[in-house]
Every structure is written in C-alpha cells, then in structure tokens.
C-alpha cells in the first residue's frame, strides 16, 4: 500500500515537472518545435504548440500563420479561416494569407469568395505561382475558361518549365478546340521533362480524340503507362485506342492490367464487360456457356506480378517545397470528341508555411 502511494506521488511530481518545463520553453523553442511538427505531419501537436506561442505573443505573425496552416492541414476549415484572418490583421500584405483563405473558401464551395481571395493574393504578389494556379483552377471549375487560360499563361510567362501550367493549359485549349496551340504547350512540357507521364498522356488524347491519329496516339499512351504504371486513366485510354486500331488482343491485355489498379466496383464491372465482349462478342464462351469471370482471374493474378515488377518506385516528398498538392486532371475530351472538363476538387495547391 505504501509503495502504491509513493508511486502516485512520484507520478504527480513528474507531471508537475513536465508542465514547468513546457512553460519554460521560449517562443523560439515553441516556434522550432511547431515547425518540426508541421514538417513531420503532426498537425494536432503543431496546433497545441502554436496556440501556446500566440497566447504569449499575439503579435507574432509567423506563429499565427503557422497555427492557421496547421488547422488547414487538419481540414478544420472554420478554425483555419479564423486564424488566417488574424494573421491577415497582423500582415495585411501577405499574399500567402490570402492564398490560403482562398483555398478554404474553395473547399467550402464558395467559389466567388475564393476568386476574390486568390485575386487579392495575385495583386499583392504577381509572381506568386500558387495563387495564380489556384485562381486558374477556380476559373476552370466555374466555366470561366478564357480567364483560366490567361492565368495559366501568366504562370508560364513567369516559369516556362512549370509542367502543371503547361499541361493544364493544353487541356483547356483542347476543350476550346484550339488543338494546335494545345499541342504547342504539351510539346513544351515534354521538352522540359521527357519523363512527364501526364504530358505524354495528354498528347495521346490530342492525337487520338482530336486528330484521329491512332498509331501516334498509341506511342504516347504506351510511354505514359511505362513512365507511370499505376495510373488508372492511362490504361483506360490505351485500351480504347487499341480497340480503335483493331488490336482487340492488345486491348484485352491492357484492360486486364487496368483491373489490378481499380478499386471502384462499378468501374471494374465496366472494364470486365469490355474484356468479355472482346473475348466473346456474342456473350458466349467457345463451349456455348456464359463467360465466367473466374476465367480471367488467373490472368489478372499473373499480370499483377508482371506489372508490379515493372512499377517505378514512389516519388519522394520534398518537405522544403511550399506546395504539397498539385492541380488534378482536366479530362480534355470525351470519347465522342466533345470537349469536357473535370477539375478534381481535392487537387489544389496549398500555400506554404511562413518561414520568416
């Protein structure tokens, strides 16, 4: 009994000592610890550290900014918006504050407010690529394609090797049926980075759907698949192009590989139906019996090993970059050649953490 009481007392002393140590941390210590937490993705811990910092020093802009950024990283939008507004009060001319406010509004579906915030960020810092890319993405989502194109062109004027701007600019131009100019920007993306799978895929789309140059499109699609073996959409388009070329056996092989990466049940059903129809146009096997899905299971397992053996390693994450998300796919054209655009909601650039 005595030992239990002694242990309890020791526990209380340790807790008190820990609290004393935390309180003794300087503002610089809290800032450094918060930055480490952000860098390591420990956003809840970062919130606690930065809240302690700004409670001591409400005029600390960097601490206030990083507190808001930690909330945004947790997708706590209301908290992030409140704290970014406080940061904006401390530094009204911070383009990064307005860029992040725009991101929050965009996530909330308030595209008008997002456009206003991103525009403010661009006005404060015309060279801010994140703000321009985000502004372009909202314009594209809301059907203001000419304004989106103008923003992407501004990014290219600032950074001629920006693959995000080059490729998405091409997609928007294809949607406006400006194929030649679109090819110009895709070619620039490929010249700047010959291993840009997205650029090769988009070139394949232009050649296949807009220009009906199937052999040339197949080369681009195959290169895209080689460079990025785990991208579902590349297999989809490559298979369709092979079907259009009359190479049904090649299409079947590609679709079976495609099944390996699919998680969407309905999409799996669609692709499996394509395989069944190509293997047995009448819906019957050679024995006259309905085609069994199990007939393809062994092929899929064999191909899974084959594909995984060829799959490139994952890209490393550069924690020094100021942006941790990129613009997503703009599906340039429908299968019938009609222009369509689909900007993925989660694919936005997020302005970086304060470093001053």
226: its two tokens:
């080689």
CA atoms within 13 A of residue 3's CA, in its CB half-sphere? 0
232: its two tokens:
């579902």
pLDDT digits 0-9 by tens, 201-230 = 999 999 999 999 999 999 999 999 999 998
123: its two tokens:
């006005």
Under a CB-based contact definition with an 8 Å cutoff, are residues 172 and 145 in contact?
Answer: yes
| Residue spans of alpha helices (H) in 246-330 | 248-261, 265-279, 294-310
pLDDT at 350: 61
pLDDT at 178: 95
pLDDT band at 353 (very low <50, low <70, confident <90, very high): low
Angle at 81 between CA 75 and CA 83, to 5 degrees: 105
Residues 6+ positions from 275 with CB-CB distance below 8 Å: 252, 255, 256, 296
Cα separation, 186 vs 138, whole angstroms: 22
pLDDT digits 0-9 by tens, 267-283 = 999 999 999 999 998 65
Domains of the chain and CATH, by start? 197-310+328-340 (1.25.40.10)
22: its two tokens:
């935390």
pLDDT digits 0-9 by tens, 54-91 = 999 999 999 999 999 999 999 999 999 999 999 999 99
Distances (CA, A) of 324 to 73, 200, 245: 10, 23, 39
Distances (CA, A) of 299 to 53, 210, 279: 59, 34, 13
């Amino acid at each position: 009994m005595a030992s239990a009481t002694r242990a309890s007392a020791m526990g209380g002393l340790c807790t008190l000592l820990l609290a004393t140590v935390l309180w003794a941390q300087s503002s610089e210590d809290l800032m450094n610890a918060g930055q480490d937490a952000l860098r390591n993705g420990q956003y809840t811990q970062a919130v606690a550290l930065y809240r302690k910092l700004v409670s001591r020093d409400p005029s600390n802009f960097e601490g206030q900014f990083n507190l808001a950024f930690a909330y945004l990283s947790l997708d706590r939008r209301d908290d992030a918006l409140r704290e970014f507004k406080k940061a904006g009060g401390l530094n009204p001319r911070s383009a990064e504050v307005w860029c992040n406010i725009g991101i929050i509004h965009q996530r909330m579906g308030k595209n008008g407010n997002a456009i206003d915030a991103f525009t403010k960020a661009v006005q404060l810092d015309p060279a801010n690529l994140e703000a321009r890319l985000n502004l372009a993405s909202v314009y594209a989502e809301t059907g203001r394609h000419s304004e989106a194109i103008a923003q992407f062109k501004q990014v290219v004027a600032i950074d001629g090797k920006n693959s995000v701007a080059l490729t998405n600019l091409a997609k928007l131009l294809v949607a406006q049926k400006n194929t030649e100019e679109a090819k110009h920007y895709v070619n620039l993306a490929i010249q700047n980075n010959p291993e840009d799978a997205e650029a090769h895929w988009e070139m394949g789309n232009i050649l296949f759907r807009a220009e009906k140059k199937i052999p040339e499109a197949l080369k681009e699609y195959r290169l895209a698949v080689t460079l990025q073996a785990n991208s579902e959409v590349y297999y989809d388009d490559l298979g369709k192009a092979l079907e259009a070329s009359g190479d049904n056996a090649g299409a079947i092989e590609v679709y079976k590989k495609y099944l390996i990466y699919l998680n969407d049940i309905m999409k799996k059903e669609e692709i499996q139906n394509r395989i069944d129809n190509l293997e047995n146009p009448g819906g019957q096997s050679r024995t006259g019996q309905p085609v069994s899905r199990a007939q393809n299971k062994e092929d899929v397992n064999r191909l899974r090993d084959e594909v995984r053996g060829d799959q490139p390693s994952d890209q490393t994450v550069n924690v020094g970059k100021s942006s941790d998300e990129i613009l997503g796919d703009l599906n340039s054209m429908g299968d019938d050649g009609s222009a369509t655009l689909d900007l993925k909601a989660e694919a936005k650039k997020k302005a970086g953490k304060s470093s001053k």
